[in-house]
Amino acid sequence: MKKGKVFLVGAGPGDEGLMTIKGLKAIQQADVILYDRLINPRLLEYAPSHCELIYCGKFPQQHLLKQELINDFLIQKAMDGCSVVRLKGGDPGVFGRVGEEAEALVTNEIPFEIVPGVSSGIAAPLYAGIPVTHREYGVSFAVVTAHDKSKEGKPNIDWAGLVASVDTIAFYMGVSNISFIAENLILHGKPEETPVILIQWGTYGRQQTVQGTLRNIAKKVKETGIKNPAITLVGDIVSVRDKLKWFEKKPLYGRQILLARTGTAKSLVAEMLKDQGADVIEFPKWAKKEVQINETILNQLFMYERILFTSPESINEFFDLLISRKIDIRNLHATIYCLSKKSLKVLMERGLSGHLADDMNHCGGLLIIGNRKMDENRGYYLDRYGKHDIFQTSETILDEAFVPVVKNMLMEASLDTIVFPSSSSVDAFIENGSPYGIVAEEILKNLTIVCMGSSSEKRIREFGFEPDSIPAEPCPSKLLEVLILNKMREKVI
The model's pLDDT over 51-104, given as tens digits with 9 standing for 90+, comes to 999 998 765 555 567 889 999 999 999 999 999 999 999 999 999 899 999 999
> pLDDT at position 65, please?
78
Please indicate whether residue 58 is annotated as part of the active site. Answer: yes
Average pLDDT across the chain, whole number: 92
Please indicate whether residue 5 is annotated as part of the active site. Answer: no
Backbone angles phi, psi at 132, to 5 degrees: -80, -10
The CATH fold assigned to 5-118 is Cobalt-precorrin-4 Transmethylase; domain 1 (3.40.1010)
Q: Are 202 and 123 a contacting pair, CB within 8 Å?
A: yes
Euclidean distance between CA atoms 489 and 304, whole angstroms: 51
Position 148 pLDDT exceeds 80: no
Query: How do residues 301-339 score in pLDDT, each as one tens digit?
Result: 999 999 999 989 999 999 999 999 999 988 888 999 998
Position 259 pLDDT exceeds 70: yes
For the structural domain made of 122-248, what CATH number should be given? 3.30.950.10
Query: How do residues 434-458 score in pLDDT, each as one tens digit?
Result: 999 899 999 999 999 999 988 899 9
Position 151 pLDDT exceeds 70: no
Euclidean distance between CA atoms 18 and 33, whole angstroms: 19
Residue 219's pLDDT band (cuts 50, 70, 90): very high
Backbone angles phi, psi at 470, to 5 degrees: -140, 120
For residue 262, the 8-state DSSP code is -
Identity of the residue numbered 443 = I
Strands (E), 94-153: 112-115, 141-145
The CATH fold assigned to 256-287+399-492 is Rossmann fold (3.40.50)
Q: Which of 5, 15, 31, 36 is catalytic?
A: 36
| CA angle 38–106–81, rounded 5-degree value | 75
For the structural domain made of 291-393, what CATH number should be given? 3.40.50.10090
Of 294, 254, 259, the residue nearest 280 (C-alpha): 259
Q: Are 266 and 272 a contacting pair, CB within 8 Å?
A: no
In this structure, the number of other CB atoms found within 10 A of the CB of residue 273 comes to: 24
Segments of the chain assigned to CATH 3.40.1010.10: 5-118
Position 198 pLDDT exceeds 90: yes
Q: How far is CA 128 from CA 115, 123, 199, 331, 488, in A?
A: 26, 9, 7, 58, 21
Segments of the chain assigned to CATH 3.40.50.10090: 256-287+399-492, 291-393
Query: How do residues 346-359 score in pLDDT, each as one tens digit?
Result: 999 999 999 998 88
> pLDDT at position 331, please?
82
Q: Which of 58, 154, 245, 341 is catalytic?
A: 58
Residues 345, 379, 429, 35, CA torsion sign: negative
Identity of the residue numbered 80 = D
Euclidean distance between CA atoms 185 and 191, whole angstroms: 8
Does an H or E element contain 332, and which?
Answer: none
Please indicate whether residue 158 is annotated as part of the active site. Answer: no
Backbone angles phi, psi at 362, to 5 degrees: -115, 30
Query: How do residues 184-194 score in pLDDT, each as one tens digit?
Result: 999 999 999 99
**β-strands 279-283, 417-420 pairing:** unpaired
- CB within 8 A of 436, min separation 6: which ones? 283, 284, 403, 406, 407, 410
